[in-house]
Chain A
Amino acid sequence: MAEEKKLKLSNTVLPSESMKVVAESMGIAQIQEETCQLLTDEDALKFMHMGKRQKLTTSDIDYALKLKNVEPLYGFHAQEFIPFRFASGGGRELYFYEEKEVDLSDIINTPLPRVPLDVCLKAHWLSIEGCQPAIPENPPPAPKEQQKAEATEPLKSAKPGQEEDGPLKGKGQGATQADGKGKEKKAPPLLEGAPLRLKPRSIHELSVEQQLYYKEITEACVGSCEAKRAEALQSIATDPGLYQMLPRFSTFISEGVRVNVVQNNLALLIYLMRMVKALMDNPTLYLEKYVHELIPAVMTCIVSRQLCLRPDVDNHWALRDFAARLVAQICKHFSTTTNNIQSRITKTFTKSWVDEKTPWTTRYGSIAGLAELGHDVIKTLILPRLQQEGERIRSVLDGPVLSNIDRIGADHVQSLLLKHCAPVLAKLRLPPDNQDAYRAEFGSLGPLLCSHVVKARAQAALQAQQVNRTTLTITQPRPTLTLSQAPQPGPRTPGLLKVPGSIALPVQTLVSARAAAPPQPSPPPTKFIVMSSSSSASSTQQVLSLSTSAPGSGSTTTSPVTTTVPSVQPIVKLVSTATTAPPSTAPSGPGSVQKYIVVSLPPTGEGKGGPTSHPSPAPPTSSSPSPLGGSALCGGKQEAGDSPPPAPGTPKANGSQPPSSGSPQPAP
């Protein structure tokens, strides 16, 4: 009320129209905007300009009013928002501060808030002899919008201003730059007059610094030091100004995958996929121009028949899952109606899945790839085939043991299907979950599915209760795209799938100690972080890292992971009881909470787990990919794969593998 009066006092200053708005608008919060627009009190604007600000603030209006000998509006001190709330009732109007009741003890006990930072001065080079250095302090040389415009509309000429910037950005060759500049300066106006615009050269010469950076980063990404790798990936994911190196990175990755798939070098494939992920995550890069190189590489890592030397032991499943998520992310970002990336990818996956002769590994990849594309794809493409697939799985699992590899594969496919389909079914179907009904609809997978759906429901309910008690979410972009069903002739198939596989190894229980997000070949320093609340999709997530445990070990598999981690570092782990348990015992827990969180147990207490088998202590450096592998990869890149990397024995296994692979599973 007080404000209203004040405003009326200032009637002569403020236009009556704005007065009306003030009177009519309901919440003060909106008035802020409205008045600012309508006021356009030139004095307030003056204060804004003199304050070198781009935003008109309430204090500007106050100053302007003071200048005119009008009492300013008290109470509006906030710069960004107005604390007043409005309420009316019984013919009365009230403006009030929205203040919650606070417990004094709370205030006393909470630590003091951080003191606002003081003004400080920071210097950086905006330009060095006319060239803007690509450092974090400067904006990225080519803003993402521009990259996007170049990629999507290459014929559309850049704006003159940007054109002008072009030669300046092609920095790095200090000496040659000075000579060429005069000419380059004159070029744009000439071109401007011409009817035909030339497309700017897309090949950038790298400065010496950039070449060094590129070398360092690529070596660290595929090298043996996990700390360095993390740093390098962080750099790729955050640094601006990598735009010019993108073509190189793209080639590096695609060639690297090409070579290492043949070599069955799982570790390097994982590293390369993590690079793709980091590139995707960089907010200043627009990858559209390089998607044609990246998609085949990523697809290869999803559906290739063999990705590692010992398919029965190595956890290539995690790589497939990770790459599947990458492809889904690519689809989400770059699929348009013109390039039809998503529908082409969908077709590729479907085709290889439907094929009877497809091996289980490829089958797994195809399903994972489809499933990651979102609920709609699961609904339309996976659910209808559940019955058929269930039969196929059963014939392998229940039938005579022909090949352990097949058995493992079928088991993985089964848990994958359960993992992805249960949440979707939980949403599609109404609560009474009847085992028979499921069996009727989905065949042999029915009962399992039913129990999973029940669990998914329970979990969703649980999460709804404790929405705010999050420890941390494993964020993973989960595309919810509608599938465009338009049939596209001639889907692009990655041509690198023909890999000779040799399958002859004993059954081995897998202890997977990988984080969900990036599969990490060298495990120990990883923290396992488990989320307690998220969308229903999260349930699938947790299975991801742990579903790999023990097809044969039945109900005893709940604890080995925890007991075998004598790591000093705090480790939070998720253990799934449900995924591998037989259907009868699975839904046993009263709350049916299917995860446990185990926080770093002291090594002494758990020492009996046997250091031989657990994955955590740093694997011998020889077994992790050596620098040789990295340099070989570089060589492979430069010579376009003419000479495949040497030393087939050196990067012999991924780092996650226990050194003695034949050791038995510890039984608690």
Chain B
Amino acid sequence: GSVAVEDQPDVSAVLSAYNQQGDPTMYEEYYSGLKHFIECSLDCHRAELSQLFYPLFVHMYLELVYNQHENEAKSFFEKFHGDQECYYQDDLRVLSSLTKKEHMKGNETMLDFRTSKFVLRISRDSYQLLKRHLQEKQNNQIWNIVQEHLYIDIFDGMPRSKQQIDAMVGSLAGEAKREANKSKVFFGLLKEPEIEVPLDDEDEEGENEEGKPKKKKPKKDSIGSKSKKQDPNAPPQNRIPLPELKDSDKLDKIMNMKETTKRVRLGPDCLPSICFYTFLNAYQGLTAVDVTDDSSLIAGGFADSTVRVWSVTPKKLRSVKQASDLSLIDKESDDVLERIMDEKTASELKILYGHSGPVYGASFSPDRLWATDHYQPLRIFAGHLADVNCTRFHPNSNYVATGSADRTVRLWDVLNGNCVRIFTGHKGPIHSLTFSPNGRFLATGATDGRVLLWDIGHGLMVGELKGHTDTVCSLRFSRDGEILASGSMDNTVRLWDAVKAFEDLETDDFTTATGHINLPENSQELLLGTYMTKSTPVVHLHFTRRNLVLAAGAYSPQ
């Protein structure tokens, strides 16, 4: 077989890899022979070798279809598709619609399957066992597929258990290779830029309210220490160019710090309040929501290409006055920013037009994003096998995480565009992700209703939060990272104990080296609260700077 087309997947060339003439009637026999062998093998090997079933099944079926053995393909599918793991059902359904050679041409899923080798992680012992069996039986058909279409990542040591395997598999192209997660990731936070905080203001406030000074002190120290001591895991300060802070940015930072002193300390005994913003009469048209960091504006993106921005504070939205009026304003006055606004246009809602298709993402730009003065994309992150549904920047701005319909999460280095982490384990397209405020952890939510927690440092799954019954659309950590809030299409907001989820993780060398993970079954202990809406999928979640949760969604009558 010639697989030299890996870089440029030309459809016909790719498919021609299937152009082998095996006896189509023997395929079922081959497969069931292997099945028999695996099912009769020792328990410890069986789980590992069972991983072979799905990729072999797919490739054998595609070979049959490609070589136009339609009837054999159909009967092969009928006979064995029931054996496959339930999380492959969606792919199998697509597969079942491919019954002719022509169908294969335009089908992306199958192209993905073909162009990227399916990755299996198998212990050396199990692999030897398989190899010996296939060679003994002269089962060349299967051996060829294993050789050409699969990537077997062999590791030394104990074979993994069924649970360990199940936790990691499920993505479109198998697990991530171990090497993929080897590179170093600077997940630490950057030094905060020095900003002169007008201390006198704060002191006044502190005196006004009782109990404030107590809270403020540790806070101040932590801020101070952060800026003094360099986080060992942090990237060099100037690894990627960051724009200078503007005055308004500084003002915002100061506001942020002030708010921080009033922040509620959350914990299992002190749950946040949730304020829910319901979009009424949205007629299923709401597609995206975002809230500004200072929680003053809420924006909704709609299928009719509009973006509507609401002010949720008493301050109304105003537009700048006409040029003729502006010229009359005294530019030296202190409240010039106030004066340029036109009171007559004040309203709580503004509608922005401009898109020509459904708006699928709405995001208020955070204070640090980079240069947008290029017309070309600065960086193309290539690697996902299917659509990317969600992206988020790492708090230190050096990385960007993407969640995709290929059921993987990838972390990309902004500097050079390399994929530095691949996280597999979700059984459905990823629809939400969020970084913990300390930058070390990543939480992802998918259509399978599970929230998975990842440690970016060693690239392993460290937790699984089960509870949601439908797509998890929104995830957010509280400002200090104690609580993880998740919102879902099942109309619930759930709060999880993030501190407990991340404490005493076992991260010994063996685990890190082999990727063996043992997840505790503690979702119920971590779940701090479930809050049901009447019939509103929770599309967006937001923690205000004082740790109040804002949730949003469109009411959808049943």
**Is B126 engaged at the interface, CB distance under 8 Å to the other chain?**
no
The stretch from A182-190, A375-383, A411-419, A438-446 touching chain B is A182-190
Partner of B274, one of A68, A125, A161: A125
Please tell me if B481 contacts chain A, counting CB pairs below 8 Å. no
**How long is the Cα–Cα vector from A51 to B286 in the complex, in angstroms?**
7
Q: A13-B106, A123-B277 are in contact. Are A54 and B94 (CB under 8 A)?
A: no
Closest to B550 in A: A123
Give Cα A178 to B274, complex, Å. Answer: 17
Beyond A119-B308, A121-B310, A124-B278, is A164–B527 a contact (Cβ under 8 Å)? Answer: yes
Give which listed residue, A49, A50, A53, A125, contacts B556 with CB less than 8 A: A53
Is the beta-carbon distance between A53 and B284 smaller than 8 angstroms?
Answer: yes
- Say how far B166's CB is from chain A's closest CB, in angstroms: 21
A16 located at the interface, meaning its Cβ lies under 8 Å from any Cβ of chain B in the complex: yes
A200 on interface, CB distance cutoff 8 Å: no
Given A50-B389, A126-B551, check contact A16 B99 (CB 8 Å): yes
The reply to whether the CB of B405 lies closer than 8 angstroms to some CB of chain A is: yes
Residue of A12, A52, A121, A182 touching B277 (CB-CB under 8 A): A121
Contact of A116 (CB < 8 Å), options: B268, B281, B473: B281
Task: Find chain A residues with CB under 8 A from B431 CB.
Answer: 49
B534 at the binding interface (Cβ < 8 Å): yes
Known A-B contacts A42-B109, A51-B303; the reply to A127 vs B531 at CB < 8 A is yes
A63, A126, A128: residue with the most chain B Cβ atoms closer than 10 Å: A126
Q: Is B489 an interface residue (CB 8 A)?
A: yes
The main secondary structure of chain B at its interface with chain A is mixed
Nearest Cβ distance between residue A191 and chain B, in whole angstroms? 11
Residues 114-136 of chain A: 1 if any B CB is under 8 Å from the residue's CB, otherwise 0? 00111111111111111010000
Secondary structure class of chain A's binding surface, majority of residues:
mixed
Bits for B381-393, please: 1 = Cβ < 8 Å to A, else 0: 0000001010000
Contact A126 B275 (CB under 8 A): yes
Question: Are A117 and B533 in contact (CB-based, < 8 A)?
Answer: no
Any chain B CB within 8 A of the CB of A27? no
Please state if B312 and A123 are interface contacts (CB–CB under 8 Å). yes
Whether, in the assembled complex, A176 has its beta carbon less than 8 Å from a beta carbon of chain B, the answer is: no
Task: Assess the A128–B278 pair: CB atoms within 8 A.
Answer: no
Which range holds the interface residue count of chain B?
Answer: 35 or more
B408 contacts partner chain A, Cβ-Cβ < 8 Å: no
Q: B349 — which chain A residues lie within 8 A by C-beta?
A: 121
In angstroms, Cα B268 to Cα A53, docked, is 32
User: CA of A120 to CA of B529 in the docked complex: distance in angstroms?
Assistant: 28
The verdict on A239 contacting chain B, using a C-beta distance below 8 Å, is: no
Specify which chain A residues have a CB less than 8 angstroms from the CB of B533 in the assembled complex. Answer: 126, 138-139
Do B387 and A46 touch (CB < 8 A)? yes
Q: Mark A90-129, 1 if CB is under 8 A from B, else 0.
A: 0000000000000000000000000011111111111111
**CB of A137 closer than 8 Å to a CB of B:** yes
Q: Does A40 contact B (CB under 8 A)?
A: yes
When the two chains form the complex, which single residue of A47, A52, A128 contacts B473, counting CB atoms closer than 8 Å? A52
Q: Does A160 contact B (CB under 8 A)?
A: yes
Instruction: With both chains docked as a complex, state the minimum distance between the C-beta of A52 and any C-beta of chain B, in angstroms.
Output: 5
CB pair B276 A118 closer than 8 Å: no
Interface residues of A (CB under 8 A from B): 12-13, 15-17, 40, 42, 46-47, 49-55, 57, 59, 63, 68, 79, 116-130, 132, 137-139, 160-161, 164-165, 168, 178, 181-182, 185-186, 188-189, 192
Besides the known contacts A12-B105, A178-B270, 18 further A-B residue pairs in the complex with CB atoms under 8 A apart: A15-B99, A42-B405, A46-B405, A49-B447, A49-B471, A50-B389, A123-B275, A126-B275, A126-B276, A126-B533, A127-B272, A129-B272, A130-B271, A139-B532, A139-B534, A161-B530, A168-B529, A189-B524
Sample 25 A-B pairs with CB under 8 A, ordered by A number: A12-B106, A15-B97, A46-B387, A50-B358, A51-B358, A51-B360, A52-B553, A59-B303, A68-B106, A119-B308, A121-B310, A122-B280, A126-B276, A127-B274, A127-B493, A129-B271, A130-B272, A130-B495, A130-B529, A132-B532, A138-B531, A168-B529, A182-B268, A185-B525, A185-B528
